[in-house]
Amino acid sequence: MRVLLLHPDDDFHGSWTRQHWDSVIDLGRAPKSFYDEQSAALGCPVFSVFDLAVEVKDMQIWRPLLEPGMGRVVDGFGIDWWDVISVALQPELQDVRLALRLAQKLKGCRTLVVSRTCLTAEALRLQLGIPLQVLHRGLRKRLVRGVLRRGGAVANLSFEQLRQVVYDKYDPHYRWRRRLAGAPARSQSESQPVVLLPSAYSNVTKTALAYAGILPEQKFLLVLARESASVLPLPENVAEARLASFATKKLEKNELQELESAWKQMEQSLEEYPAFRLPVQLGILKKGPRWLRWGLAVRDAWVRVFEMRSVAGCLSADDSNPYTRIPLLLAEQRGIPAVACHHGALDCRMAFKNPRFSNYLAKGDMERDYLERICGVDADRIRIGAASSPSREHASVWSEGAPWIAFFTEPYETDLWRVEAIYREVLPRLCAAARASGKTVVLKLHPFESARHRRRLVKDILSDGDLKLVSVTEAPLSREILQKTWCAVTVESTVAFESASVRIPAFLCGWLRHAYAGYAPQYVRFGVGRMLEFPDELLRIPDMLRTVMPGSETARGLVQAISPEALSEVLSMSISKSGQEAS
């Protein structure tokens, strides 16, 4: 049995296609129709490793699996670094479990070839006990392809995006940015109590600012851990600072050495557990010390924020990212209200994160149900309270004359999708539906997507006739965009939730949904759109539209605005009081 593993960065072209294979396994993802075409062309089964994933259940196993590492690498501020870092390592740990599942299907394999080395291939090599062959390319060819690939990626980025990539990669400890930012600005109001709003992304900032707008008399401090988190304009009651300006010059080496030693001991102990034997062999946990060095630099900057500002509460709209989880943990340790929420509709990582907050603000019944039923969060710690704005109130904005079938796209690359295959399957069918209904197709891009790349992709894929029907926008979601939307089409973007909350019908490309999260089924459970199981169902959008119209009850169940009084209570409630009430 001769098997090829195709890396997500490699395409289905090249000399390897002329060789004989008993099976080709894509380590990326693509629609089923794509694999059917490749199977016919190659004369063997072709499928994605993600076909072996079990939705939701694969995600729910991780909280108990991660538990043995808790409490072993704790610093002087009470931060458990396994709690912080394991969230970042979990995707690779999940990849290993998927590789073990694939190994069961490849027991008869004698020749295992991979287009380029990667974690999944190494896991298979160890589990099957057979050599791993790497497709050979000449050095010159590899260099040329690498340069072209990186050059193409850079060309697709705006100046701001490129600058952020450089900072993230080459200045993670704020050595450059600390000098550029200068010392934290001093003001007479420095001693005035503020609610801290940590952010590392623009969507997180927007959510935090929406909550701040509910309490105009309360002072908030927005601290940006990354430059791309900046959003303008700011409400009058929100001051802004850069985390880089609070960064310290040096790490405490003795503390770092102690934590690294504790990490190594934890790693050795975890190897005794079956779930971690292969990850330890593969060196996944050895990434911990690098994360520690970065994490301590970030922690020290946040510590200075707490020391130099009178922080009375912390509201984090992303408690997964270390940048915005660390301040929440520091607030918890100091007995300060530590309030969490999520900038998107749902957060699947709540299924395995430790709930380190006094209260979690759910936007409505759909999110509350997901947190309790899917993620196992204690109901006593959940408060329903969305930061609704006038543009998100439940009054319908839909009209028959709205001109757009809006395809709300997503950064599919983050889930290892072959983006071109998705666009080739979806866009021509949307154009046909638009032509039949007298509408046009608008691609509304996610902030993480490159408009330059997506426009080039659309031009390469569509015929001249279809191209006239399509436009691309990277403008932020607004009431104006929603008013022009006749129907929304997406996979499982938060925009489906946004659309349904203002009575716009939404269609979910269910065959493209996340391998683990279970977002799309949860949307359907609460009336957020119709799940489409096959691409050709897109052609029937004009006929199905009326049956998908969300009612007022659906909208009310999705977004239930928090009152100023309730939000003030949550942000002023001490952790000890919260614990007493919960008991």
Q: Would you state the pLDDT for residue 153?
A: 52
340 pLDDT band (50/70/90 cuts)?
very high
Contact predicate 361/570, CB 8 Å:
yes
Q: Report which of 43, 274, 298 is spatially closest to residue 171, judged by C-alpha positions.
A: 298
Q: Amino acid identity of 224?
A: L
What DSSP element (H or E) covers 187? none
- Top CATH class of 404-558 equals alpha beta
Contact predicate 388/561, CB 8 Å:
yes
From residue 521, how far is each of 49, 487, 514, 531, 552 by CA, in Å? 22, 19, 11, 8, 20
The rounded distance, in Å, linking the Cα atoms of 326 and 472 is: 37
Strands (E), 525-573: 530-532
Q: Report which of 397, 396, 405 is spatially closest to residue 541, judged by C-alpha positions.
A: 405
Q: Would you state the pLDDT for residue 580?
A: 38
Task: Give the DSSP letter of residue 186.
Answer: P
What b-and-e string marks burial along 511-543, b requiring 16 or more CB atoms within 10 Å of the CB? bbbbbbbbbbbbbeebbbbbbbeebebbeebbe
Q: pLDDT digit string (tens) for 493-537?
A: 999 988 998 899 999 999 999 999 999 999 999 999 999 999 999
Q: Would you state the pLDDT for residue 579?
A: 38
352 pLDDT band (50/70/90 cuts)?
very high
From residue 49, how far is each of 5, 7, 113, 435 by CA, in Å? 9, 11, 15, 37
Give 132's strand partners.
112
Just give the CATH number of 54-98+184-388+562-583.
3.40.50
For range 467-486, the mean pLDDT: 95
The average confidence (pLDDT) of the chain is 91
Q: Report which of 540, 523, 480, 529 is spatially closest to residue 504, judged by C-alpha positions.
A: 529
What b-and-e string marks burial along 307-330, b requiring 16 or more CB atoms within 10 Å of the CB? eebebbbbbbbbbbbbbbbbbbbb
Q: Is the pLDDT score of 34 beyond 50?
A: yes
The rounded distance, in Å, linking the Cα atoms of 582 and 333 is: 18
For range 136-141, the mean pLDDT: 52
Q: pLDDT digit string (tens) for 454-469?
A: 999 999 999 999 999 9
DSSP for 559-572, please give it.
Answer: --BPPHHHHHHHHH
Q: Would you state the pLDDT for residue 137?
A: 59
